[in-house]
Structures are given as C-alpha cells and as structure tokens.
Amino acid sequence: MATDVWVGFTELGSKLEKKSISYEPGIFFFQNMNYIQSKLEESGNPLEKELAMYLICQLRTPISRCKQVKKILPTLIAKYVIPEFNNDIMFLRARAVDIFTEYGSMELDIEVVRKAVEGIYLCLTKDSYPLVRIKAALAFNCILKHKTAKDLVQPLLKDILTVYLQLLDSYDLENIVNSLESIVEDFAEEIGPFALELIKHLTKLFFKLFNKDAEQANNEDYDG
C-alpha cells in the first residue's frame, strides 16, 4: 500500500496540467496525509522528505481548493518545514524556502511567521550555497505579506538589501528583481538611506544586460 501511495504522489506531480473532475490532487493529498507526514519526519529518508516537500510546492493550486488540506497545512508547515531551515542538507533547506515561496502569504500563526523570517533571513545572508540564497530572496517577497514579518524585517533591511544587490551582480534573474521591487514598495518610507546605492546597482545591472543583449544581437547578425 505504501509503495502504491508514493507512486501515486509521484504520478500526481507529473499530471498537474492534466487535471479533470475525476482526478482531484488536493483530495488525494488529504486522503494520504498520514503517509506524507511520515515522509516529512526528521528520521525519514532525505530524498523522500525532499520529494514530499516538492509535491507540496507543486500542489499549491489544488491544495488551495481543498479546505481540508488548507486547514491543516499551517500546522504541517510549523512542525515539519520550519526545522528544515537548519538542516545540514542543502537541498532540504532550499525546498523549505520553496514552500514559503508558495505558501508564505497564507494565514499563519505569528510564531510561525517569526520563525519563517528568521529561517529565510539565515538562508539569505549566511548560506554558503547560491541556490539557497537565491530561493530565499524569492521567498521574502511572499512572507512580507504578513505585518509581523514586516516588523521583524525592518531592522534587518540593510543586510537584506546588500545580499539582494550582491545576487543581482552575480545572477541575471528577473525574479530577484521582481522580489526586490516588492521589498522596495513594502518599505518605501524606510528605503531612503539605501536609495542611492540601489540606483547605482540597478543602473549597473541595466547597462550590463543592455551590453549583453547588444553583444548577442551582434553575434546573431554575424552568424547570419
């Protein structure tokens, strides 16, 4: 039975674009909640735990339509996802951040929001893996939907913006720019002391992308 359920979850993840009235992923998820929780346990297989977290991310749309799952998801996140911010395994830290990118704006207990901000901030500013830092940069955009998160982030704003600018210098990712724009909007009144530095870095990024596009266009013309 367990193997059949796990295969079902795996197949479910690959069929999300082929949903029908008779195939409801959210209900399937709820009916097998005990099994998915067993895969999230601390002593579980890391690969199976990562797959369980991946499926939770992929199932955001059907889960949002399933009242039973929405009701218990905050508890599941508090118990099984928050601790993964401190996991020694990089891909589990990254996946924990992913879950808050997908579900960070949902209604959460204040203590969960506090721990999420602490974990995401740690992943953004201290993690040695760029993948985790990039994912954390995207997650902040979602968790800041909570007033509690904004209050906690405000004193950390300088460090957070510094990392965002470092990431933009190294990686040409539109999603990071969008997340940064959202933070600037959320902290419009507090952003003043950092405005000049932001403009300098964004101007530098603009010319970097402009030159890259121009070079690519010239190469295409040459090849043609």
Question: Euclidean distance between the first and final Cα of the chain, in Å?
Answer: 59
Q: Domain boundaries in the chain? A: 1-65, 93-223
Query: What residue spans of 77-194 are helical by DSSP H?
Result: 90-103, 110-125, 130-143, 147-153, 157-170, 174-186
pLDDT in tens, 63-80: 777 787 778 888 888 898
Q: How far apart are CA 95 and CA 135, in angstroms?
A: 9
Q: Sort 98 into a burial class: Cβ within 10 Å, 0-12 / 13-18 / 19+.
A: buried
Q: How far apart are CA 214 and CA 16, in angstroms?
A: 39
Could you tell me which of 163, 168, 140 has the C-alpha nearest to residue 153?
A: 140
Q: How far apart are CA 14 and CA 16, in angstroms?
A: 6
pLDDT in tens, 145-159: 898 998 999 898 888
Low-confidence ranges of the chain (pLDDT < 70): 1-30, 172, 209-210, 212-213, 217, 220-224
**pLDDT, mean over the chain:** 80
pLDDT in tens, 38-61: 888 877 788 888 888 888 888 788
Give the model's pLDDT for residue 117: 93
